[in-house]
């Protein structure tokens, strides 16, 4: 399948028939964090390092949906130079289309297709930290949470619950004042959680400092850190959402709610 055919297949997820990928060896890195912490620039460094080591890397950048067209805003493509590095890297912006969970429908099938087509590392970059971002654990094998020197970002991550599920935390912009203090605060917070605390790595997407250490730490993780029950819960919820959205009566139930033909109970009955 050439790149054009692959792009078309990812747009028509209903037609994807790729077998479900095995969870080992791991190949999917989920990257999340608040807007402005430097996720895209850090991902750019990670992609370059993986390409240098012979990996074939695919990036699925989950962009906010346009309120007019419903399409992706393509912001991440403009911040990544590695997308132009040749045939061993594939970049695709995907709109959330305002779906619950903060992730597009059938993202797991997109990943299955990429794995089947020979991509050895896949990065999924989410829109930004928030309660909905924990759904990424349903798809990714490893979760990288990116934080910055602003303490408010960390508080948001703690409130959202994503800090508890992160396998590794990168404090980006380590060349700025306050980065080490934030890293210490995150490590202290993680030390109060049950089980082994996620490693916290200082790095800079601006200078490249700490990126090699970050990659080594990601590769050396023995298993996903997040509680198995939380990961299983999100996978089940994601699958249930797929069933709901693909139900033949979904559009009718939605329109009926809008024009007052159905109550919420009647709409739910249509979807049983």
List, for residues 53-63, the tens digit of each pLDDT value: 999 999 998 87
E strands along 74-174, which residues? 89-95, 121-125, 142-147, 168-171
Q: Is the peptide bond before 25 cis (omega within 30 degrees of 0)?
A: yes
**Looking at residue 71, what is its pLDDT?**
46
**Looking at residue 127, what is its pLDDT?**
73
pLDDT in tens, 195-237: 678 899 999 998 899 999 999 999 988 766 555 666 677 677 7
Whether pLDDT at 249 is above 80 = yes
Whether pLDDT at 67 is above 50 = no
> Which tokens belong to 87?
């045939």
CA distance 164 to 171: 16
Q: Which residue, chain included where needed, has tokens 């190949």? A: 27
Averaged pLDDT, 9-34: 83
* Residue 178 or residue 24, greater confidence: 178
Q: How many CA atoms lie within 13 A of 24 on its CB side?
A: 4
Whether the model clears a pTM of 0.85, i.e. scores above it, the answer is no
Q: Hey, CA dihedral for 108, 79, 50, 207, is it positive or negative?
A: negative
Query: Domains of the chain by range and CATH?
Result: 3-226 (3.40.50.300), 228-272 (no CATH)
pLDDT in tens, 148-173: 886 555 555 555 567 778 889 999 99
Check: CB of residue 183 under 8 Å from CB of residue 200.
Answer: yes
Judged by DSSP in three states, 12 sits in: coil
DSSP string, 3-46: HHHHHHHHH-GGG--PPPPPSSS--EEEEE--TTS-HHHHHHHH
* CA R_g for the chain: 19
**Looking at residue 226, what is its pLDDT?**
57
What is the residue-averaged pLDDT of the chain? 80
Confidence of residue 262 (pLDDT cuts 50, 70, 90): very high
What residues contact residue 45 under an 8 Å CB cut-off, 6+ apart? 205, 208, 211
Whether pLDDT at 254 is above 70 = yes
Check: CB of residue 61 under 8 Å from CB of residue 99.
Answer: no
Check: CB of residue 212 under 8 Å from CB of residue 204.
Answer: no
CA distance 165 to 39: 17
Task: Tell me the CA distances in angstroms from 138 to 14, 115, 165, 191, one per residue in order.
Answer: 19, 16, 11, 25
């Amino acid at each position: 399948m050439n790149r054009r055919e692959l792009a078309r297949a990812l747009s028509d997820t209903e037609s994807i028939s790729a077998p479900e990928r095995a969870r080992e060896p791991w190949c999917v890195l989920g990257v999340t964090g608040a807007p402005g912490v430097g996720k895209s620039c850090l991902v750019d460094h990670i992609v370059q390092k993986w390409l240098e080591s012979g990996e074939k890397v695919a990036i699925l950048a989950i962009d906010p949906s346009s309120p007019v067209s419903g399409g992706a805003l393509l912001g991440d493509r403009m911040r990544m130079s590695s997308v132009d590095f040749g045939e061993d890297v594939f970049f695709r912006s995907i709109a959330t289309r305002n779906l619950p969970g903060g992730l597009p429908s059938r993202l797991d099938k997109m990943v299955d297709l990429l794995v089947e087509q020979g991509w050895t590392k896949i990065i999924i970059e989410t829109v930004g930290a928030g309660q909905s971002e924990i759904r990424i654990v349903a798809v990714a094998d490893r979760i990288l949470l990116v934080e910055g020197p602003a303490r408010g970002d960390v508080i948001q991550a703690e409130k959202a619950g994503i800090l508890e599920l992160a396998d590794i935390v990168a404090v980006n912009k380590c060349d700025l004042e306050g980065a080490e203090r934030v890293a210490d605060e995150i490590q202290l917070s993680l030390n109060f959680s049950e089980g082994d605390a996620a490693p916290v790595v200082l790095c800079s997407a601006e200078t490249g400092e700490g990126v090699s250490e970050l990659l080594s730490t990601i590769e050396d993780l023995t298993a996903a850190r997040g509680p198995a029950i939380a990961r299983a819960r999100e996978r089940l919820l994601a699958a249930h959402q797929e069933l709901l959205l693909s139900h033949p009566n979904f559009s009718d139930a939605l329109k009926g709610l809008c024009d007052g033909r159905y109550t919420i109970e009647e709409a739910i009955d249509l979807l049983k």
